[in-house]
């Protein structure tokens, strides 16, 4: 197994453990083709995430890439049940709550880091800050 893959998967495992999440994943942005692909995941129930190709602005990861902002979909989100149906990763992994954060490399969004839960939860500020802190570690690996 490639060293970078092992490191990514360990960090995703740690994220799930430290945020009490069921699922965590990293999506890479292909700047040439303008697509986003989920490359690494922990806590997955199937491999459908690997086949997803998302355009910027579409889905949860696409919105994070397009706008460069953190997106939270949890118990405090209005219409969350309807909204989650628009996000393929949430449907594929049966996630009810999620937080997605952009990973910046050289001033561009190079990826998306996501944590998710299969039950309704309220993500705390501490959990979101830990996720954001972890994005800088992913950015260092990607450089």
**Other beta carbons less than 10 A from residue 138's beta carbon:** 23
**What is the distance between the alpha carbons of residues 98 and 109, in angstroms, rounded to a whole number?**
19
On the question of pLDDT at 2 being above 90, the answer is: no
Q: Residues 66-75: pLDDT tens digits? A: 999 999 998 8
* Residue of higher predicted confidence among 133 and 80: 133
Q: What is the pTM of this model?
A: 0.91
Q: Residues 97-120: pLDDT tens digits? A: 999 999 999 889 999 999 999 999
Question: Coil, strand or helix: which one is 93?
Answer: coil
Nearest residue to 115 (alpha-carbon basis) of 47, 33, 13, 39: 13
**Other beta carbons less than 10 A from residue 119's beta carbon:** 9
Q: Residues 29-39: pLDDT tens digits? A: 998 888 999 99
On the question of pLDDT at 42 being above 70, the answer is: yes
**What is the distance between the alpha carbons of residues 11 and 14, in angstroms, rounded to a whole number?**
5
On the question of pLDDT at 9 being above 80, the answer is: yes
**Other beta carbons less than 10 A from residue 106's beta carbon:** 8
**What is the distance between the alpha carbons of residues 36 and 4, in angstroms, rounded to a whole number?**
19
């Amino acid at each position: 197994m490639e060293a970078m893959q092992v490191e990514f998967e360990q960090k995703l495992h740690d994220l799930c453990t430290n945020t009490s999440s069921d699922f965590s994943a990293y999506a890479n942005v292909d700047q040439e083709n303008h697509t986003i692909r989920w490359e690494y995941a922990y806590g997955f129930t199937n491999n459908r995430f690997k086949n997803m190709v998302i355009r910027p602005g579409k889905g949860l990861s696409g919105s994070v890439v397009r706008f460069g902002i953190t997106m939270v979909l949890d118990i405090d989100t209005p219409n969350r049940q309807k909204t989650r149906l628009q996000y393929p990763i949430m449907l594929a992994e049966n996630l009810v709550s999620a937080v997605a954060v952009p990973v910046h490399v050289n001033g561009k969004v190079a990826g998306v880091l996501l944590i998710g839960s299969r039950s309704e939860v309220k993500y705390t500020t501490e959990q979101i800050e830990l996720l954001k802190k972890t994005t800088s570690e992913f950015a260092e690996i990607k450089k």
